[in-house]
Structure 1
Amino acid sequence: MILRTNSHIDPEKLSECQLAIGYYFNNTIVLERALTHTSCKLENNFSNERLEFLGDAILGMVISDYLYKALPECSEGELTKIKSVVVSQTTLAKVSMEAHLKDFLSVGRGLNDRNFLPKSLLANVFEAVVAAIYLDGGLEPAYNFTVKYLKKEVDIVCKDQHEKNYKSILQQYSQKEYGVTPSYRILQQIGPDHGKSFEVSVLIKGIEYGRGWGKSKKEAEQSAAKETLKIIVPDVIHENDNKPCI
């Protein structure tokens, strides 16, 4: 439940929160502050606004460090793109939900429906908790907490970029070597309207190369592009299959 009070959060709720996030505070006051939204701010300015500010900076540093070490083959531009998604409001709101932080928030009466909390609020409380852990235990536990919840999101972004890149690789290669842009032709589509599958082939200068299947035209085109790359530049596709991101 979401607490709507003008007093500190129930100690039992603080204990439940620590169990949920997997970190136990030496000083629970800093956790209480992190979980107190400005909509129920106390007279002594007891809210998580300042912690959000600090947490945003810590998150950026942690994710930058993690990406730099985990993805040695990625360029600065690629790392920046991945980071921008991972630390976005949408992603932070998602992992905040996974950490069940909304169950322990202290909010004002205008925010009494926990099923419709703004993404910004959910993202901010995650940042505030990161900062609270940092202040209470130092960088190491803050780092571990951040990576615990965001590593999966990094993997998702890398996989997504990798899968979306075969068409781009093929286009660049074809334009350089053949002076043309590949085209894609739908060979067949099967299944009901709500669950169609498509078979697509790649044409370069009128010659058909790889074919691929997918649950959407785009997915089939990516598969066909990958198969074409296997045919015309197998070394390139082998290299990229072994890279964590492109």
Structure 2
Amino acid sequence: MNSTDLPPPENETPIQLVDGTGEADGTDQASKLVRCQEIIEYQFNDPSLLHSALTHASGAVHRLASNERLEFLGDAILGLTVCHWLYEEYPEYNEGDLTRIKSAVVSRRSCGKAAVELGLDRCLIVGRGVTRNRSFPRSLVSDVFESVIAAMYLDGGDEVVRVRLKKWLRREVEHAVETQGSSNFKSSLQQYAQREMSSTPVYRLVRESGPDHRKSFLIAAVIADRQFTAAWGSNKKDAEQHAASNALAELRGQPLPFPEQE
């Protein structure tokens, strides 16, 4: 992982771990493999790959039998898959925007959140000491997310991984686009409007000001029948970006970044 761990929010879903003995809730290692394949909607041709992916170092016979090597590979596969996804779906974003979005999507918190929502935490094969002492690091669940990705890749190829990541991380990508791709407000507004309002923004020229060689443009974003606060720009492109930023602020109940001035 490239990003650092962050303290979990108070309302974050708690991690549920059970050891592989079956004593806690009847969940032995074989049952965990079955459960995990149901969760990820993929049946392994080589179940030993999944077994390795789910085995934490505390539950492994030796270090190389744990999921650490698969985690290493899964980190790279996750990054490449998300980069390809963003490159294809967001052609209007520059390299800096894409980098910020990708970093947010593949962070430990995002991967850990996805793992817990799927239920991969309950599929982990860990030693008794981990479940008894509850002293495990939260990064443990983001690690298994990556190791399972690597196992699927080795067993079924990149398309198997791509389809599932687009399903599991869709909300994380959309949120990151809105919050991290802020240098392109028009794109962020379009994503928001299409998802939340089933409409596409248009931009209306309200008026122009100044001589021909130094014109300013006042433009407003319009979604459906709602016109948002207009914003000035020294050219139409900048004015549209500012108008989109105002619209996003209004939709989120935030102060206007570009208040209209006479």
2:37 touches 2:43 (CA, 8 Å); kept in 1?
A: yes
Query: Within the alignment, does 1:2 sit opposite 2:2 as a pair?
Result: no
Query: Within the alignment, does 1:63 sit opposite 2:79 as a pair?
Result: no
The change in CA–CA distance for 1:81 and 1:26 in structure 2 (over 3 A counts) is same
**Percent identity, aligned pairs only?**
40
Aligned match of 1:81: 100
Q: Equivalents in 2 of 1:11, 1:84: separation in Å? A: 35
Compute the displacement of 1:14 (Å). Answer: 1.1
Greater alpha carbon shift after TM alignment, 107-116 vs 128-137: 107-116
Compute the displacement of 1:118 (Å). Answer: 2.4
Q: Secondary structure at the match of 1:45?
A: helix
The one-letter code matched in structure 1 to 2:146 is E
Aligned match of 1:16: 35
The change in CA–CA distance for 1:98 and 1:116 in structure 2 (over 3 A counts) is farther
**How large is the RMSD of aligned CA atoms in angstroms?**
3.2
1:37 touches 1:48 (CA, 8 Å); kept in 2?
A: yes
- What pairs up with 1:19-34 in 2 under 5 angstroms? 19-34=38-53
Compute the displacement of 1:116 (Å). Answer: 7.0
The change in CA–CA distance for 1:159 and 1:115 in structure 2 (over 3 A counts) is farther
Aligned match of 1:229: 231
Aligned match of 2:217: none
The change in CA–CA distance for 1:162 and 1:76 in structure 2 (over 3 A counts) is closer
The change in CA–CA distance for 1:73 and 1:90 in structure 2 (over 3 A counts) is same
Query: Within the alignment, does 1:51 sit opposite 2:70 as a pair?
Result: yes
Alignment TM-score, normalising by the size of structure 1: 0.64
Compute the displacement of 1:115 (Å). Answer: 7.6
Q: Equivalents in 2 of 1:86, 1:2: separation in Å? A: 28
Q: Equivalents in 2 of 1:2, 1:71: separation in Å? A: 40
1:133 touches 1:141 (CA, 8 Å); kept in 2?
A: yes
Compute the displacement of 1:13 (Å). Answer: 2.2
Q: Equivalents in 2 of 1:12, 1:46: separation in Å? A: 19
Flag the structure with higher helix content: 1
The change in CA–CA distance for 1:73 and 1:18 in structure 2 (over 3 A counts) is same
Return 5+ residue gaps in structure 2 as ranges.
1-16, 22-27, 186-208, 210-219, 221-227, 249-262
How many pairs align? 182
1:129 paired residue among 144, 148, 151: 148
Q: Equivalents in 2 of 1:68, 1:113: separation in Å? A: 44
1:3 touches 1:104 (CA, 8 Å); kept in 2?
A: no
CA displacement 1:154-188 (0-9 Å, x = unmatched): 1011122467987xxxxxxxxxx9xxxxxxxxxxx
2:32 touches 2:124 (CA, 8 Å); kept in 1?
A: no
The change in CA–CA distance for 1:230 and 1:14 in structure 2 (over 3 A counts) is farther
Aligned match of 2:192: none
Alignment TM-score, normalising by the size of structure 2: 0.61
Return 5+ residue gaps in structure 1 as ranges.
167-176, 178-209, 211-225
Aligned match of 2:216: none
Aligned match of 2:129: 110
The one-letter code matched in structure 2 to 1:46 is A
1:4 touches 1:112 (CA, 8 Å); kept in 2?
A: no
Compute the displacement of 1:20 (Å). Answer: 1.0
The change in CA–CA distance for 1:151 and 1:116 in structure 2 (over 3 A counts) is farther
Aligned match of 2:3: none
The one-letter code matched in structure 2 to 1:3 is D
